[in-house]
């Protein structure tokens, strides 16, 4: 009986060690997937928000369009929006730049392309799109022409 007990015990120890190693690896993989997915979602949201904002002709509408896109995703925040549109002048390179971020909690200190504070990884993405619908310069204040 004793040899059998010893054998089973060894097996259990082997199994425990193997499982813990594979478990650790599996956990690492799972966390990597979560982290990668967070980066992907942040990227998608930032892109969609920038594209939506670029369809608008003023800063307020652009901000509201970007915000409405971002709000549809949990955990992604609109960090900044820059709206550069100097009238109806394409040579002024009118664009809207949107920055979004998302935080992921992780037990690992992963070296990635983002800043890390404690066990929290912050992904930040920035996209800029040309403003398609340029705002008109208001000419309403121009005086009426006089008689010839």
Partner 1 sequence: MKQKTRTLQCSAPTKINRKQSGLTTILLVFALAFFVLLPIAAFGFELARMHLAYEELKVATDAAALAAGTTRANLAMTDPGNQERQAIAIGLYLFKKNAVFGRVLDRTTYGAYPGSGMEPGRAYLQFFFERQRVRAQSWLCVAPAFGLSLLPPQVISVNSAASGMPKLDIVIALDTSHSMTQETPVFVVKRFMDGGKLQHKIQMHAKLGSKRMNEKYATGWPYFPMDLGARGDVLFDADLRVQHKHLPEEGQPPGKDKGTADAFTDMVIDIPTSGSSYFAGIMDESAKAAVLVEAFRGNLENSAVFESSGAKTALAGIVEPRAGFQNEYLKIAQAHLPLFSDAVKEVVKFIDAVHESSDAHFGLTTFSGIASRKDFDHFRWFKVSPRVPGAGQIDVKLPYVDLSHNGDQYDAVHDALVDENGVPQFVPEQGTDTGGSVQAALEMLHDRSKSRDDAKRIVVLVTDGMPRRTDGDYFHNYPLALHPSSTDAATHAAYEAAKDARREGIPIFAVAFLHIWDRSEAREGRHVLNEMVRLAKHGSQYYESRDIPGLREDLGSVARQLVRLVN
Residues 5-44 vs partner 1: string with x where CB under 8 A? -xx--xx-xx--xx--xx--x--xx--x---x--xx--x-
Spatial distance between the Cα atoms of 35 and 43, rounded to a whole number of angstroms: 12
How far CA 103 is from CA of 63, 83, 108, 125, in Å, comes to 22, 25, 14, 12
Spatial distance between the Cα atoms of 98 and 129, rounded to a whole number of angstroms: 9
Spatial distance between the Cα atoms of 38 and 24, rounded to a whole number of angstroms: 21
Residue 88 CB, nearest distance to partner 1 (Å)? 5
Instruction: Between 3 and 118, name the residue whose CB sits nearer to partner 1.
Output: 3
Residues 84-113 vs partner 1: string with x where CB under 8 A? ----x-xx-x-x-x-------------xxx
Residues 113-142 vs partner 1: string with x where CB under 8 A? xx--------xxxxxxxx-xxx-x--x--x
């Amino acid at each position: 009986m004793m040899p059998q007990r010893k054998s089973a015990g060894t097996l259990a120890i082997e199994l425990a060690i193997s499982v813990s190693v594979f478990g650790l690896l599996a956990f690492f993989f799972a966390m990597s997937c979560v982290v990668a997915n967070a980066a992907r979602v942040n990227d998608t949201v930032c892109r969609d928000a920038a594209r939506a904002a670029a369809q608008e002709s003023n800063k307020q509408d652009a901000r509201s369009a970007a915000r409405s896109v971002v709000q549809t995703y949990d955990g992604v925040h609109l960090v900044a929006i820059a709206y550069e549109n100097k009238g109806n002048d394409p040579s002024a390179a009118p664009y809207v730049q949107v920055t979004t971020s998302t935080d992921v909690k992780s037990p690992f200190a992963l070296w990635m392309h983002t800043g890390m504070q404690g066990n929290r990884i912050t992904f930040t993405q920035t996209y800029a799109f040309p403003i398609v619908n340029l705002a008109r310069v208001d000419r309403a204040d121009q005086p009426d022409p006089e008689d010839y």
